[in-house]
Amino acid sequence: MTNDPFRQELLNISETDPAVDRLVEQTIGRVADKWTMLLIEILTNRECCRFGELSKACEGISQKMLTQTLRALERDGLVTRTVYPVVPPKVEYRLTDLGLGLSKAFCGVWIWAEENLERVEQARKEYVERKKDDGTVR
Amino acid sequence: MTNDPFRQELLNISETDPAVDRLVEQTIGRVADKWTMLLIEILTNRECCRFGELSKACEGISQKMLTQTLRALERDGLVTRTVYPVVPPKVEYRLTDLGLGLSKAFCGVWIWAEENLERVEQARKEYVERKKDDGTVR
DNA sequence: CAGTATCCTATTTGATACTG
DNA sequence: CAGTATCAAATAGGATACTG
């Protein structure tokens, strides 16, 4: 199992410098959240979006969270925000190269989620069953 | 730009069925969080860990969050929890195949974070500068 | 050792109303 | 249209004490 090629492939990710580790974790912390991933996916597919479009495409998000998440993305250099001085206002968002790179990185996670949806669901059902049959923690 | 090979590669991820999309998003929502990613990384590198080891390795996590996150991972079929009936108790956690697959998917995100740390930091500094120079939202 | 239980605070999120 | 502001509710998270 230790020689599992998967695992071997994964082993060299970890940093030697703990300070860098903290920074990596911080970066992950900023970027690894549901709305961020969703917005980046939408912007990957649509190339360029107005606020209202994002609001519709990103089903379930509140205006507040949308604004907040977009600001964070802009601040971190992942999307650009272009304001056209017209009435009514028009604002366009699009991925930067940096954002496109992150999108590519997220890609694997989306695929994993799609492919393993049922396995996770199944595991949850079994877990609940085991808990119902009760306490033999095994 | 539309013919960007990156983007082309990314385009076919999106589902056609909106119901499946919701499920994918839910799955992402469960799995895309800081502690989950960290614990999975640790368990990838160490293969097998006791509660106390994880507690040390996962710097900054509280006992409560550790327990909570581990239970969620177990429930979703990503780790196994093995209790040895000894005194004092010994409990071992290790990734399942499903968990190892997720680990592999996360791998790209970790690498992205490592490689683009400074670019994100730089973007943040510039953003703050722009805000200080004030309101020409550009 | 590996938790659980409890209390409490802080952060996140949503709903609603308002504005350039 | 694309937000901001405000308040309330929910949730996350930490600290501490206790247990098989």
What is the reported pLDDT for B121?
94
Give the domain extent around A99. 5-106
State the CB neighbour count (10 A cutoff) for residue A27: 21
What is the reported pLDDT for A14?
60
Is residue A128 included in any domain, yes or no?
A: no
List, chain by chain, residues whose CB lies under 7 Å from nucleic acid strand D.
Answer: A 50-53, 63-64, 67, 70-71, 81, 88-91; B 34-35, 60-65, 88-89
Backbone angles phi, psi at B33, to 5 degrees: -135, 160
Taking an 8 Å cut-off on Cβ atoms, the answer to whether B116 and A104 are in contact is: no
Is residue B17 included in any domain, yes or no?
A: yes
Peptide bond into A88 cis (omega under 30): yes
Is residue B118 included in any domain, yes or no?
A: no
Question: What is the pLDDT averaged over residues A56-77?
Answer: 96
Is residue B130 included in any domain, yes or no?
A: no
Is residue A125 included in any domain, yes or no?
A: no
Is residue A53 included in any domain, yes or no?
A: yes
DSSP A47-108: SEEEHHHHHHHSTT--HHHHHHHHHHHHHTTSEEEEEE--SS-EEEEEE-HHHHHHHHHHHH
Taking an 8 Å cut-off on Cβ atoms, the answer to whether B109 and A14 are in contact is: no
pTM score, whole prediction: 0.89
**Rounded Cα distance, A60 and A47, in Å:** 21
Q: Give the distance from residue B84's alpha carbon to the nearest chain A alpha carbon, in angstroms.
A: 9
State the CB neighbour count (10 A cutoff) for residue A115: 12
The pLDDT tens digits of the residues spanning A67-84 come to 999 999 999 999 999 999
Of B11, B28, B113, the CB nearest to A37: B28
The pLDDT tens digits of the residues spanning A30-45 come to 998 889 999 999 999 9
Structural domain total, chain A = 1
What CATH number should be reported for the domain holding residue B27? 1.10.10.10
Is residue B82 included in any domain, yes or no?
A: yes
| Residue B32 CA distance to nucleotide D10 C1' (Å) | 20
The pLDDT tens digits of the residues spanning B8-37 come to 766 655 666 878 888 898 899 889 888 999
Is residue A38 included in any domain, yes or no?
A: yes
Residues in B closer than 8 angstroms to A105, CB to CB, are 108-109, 111-112
Residues in B closer than 8 angstroms to A59, CB to CB, are 22
Nearest nt to the CA of B87 via C1' is C1
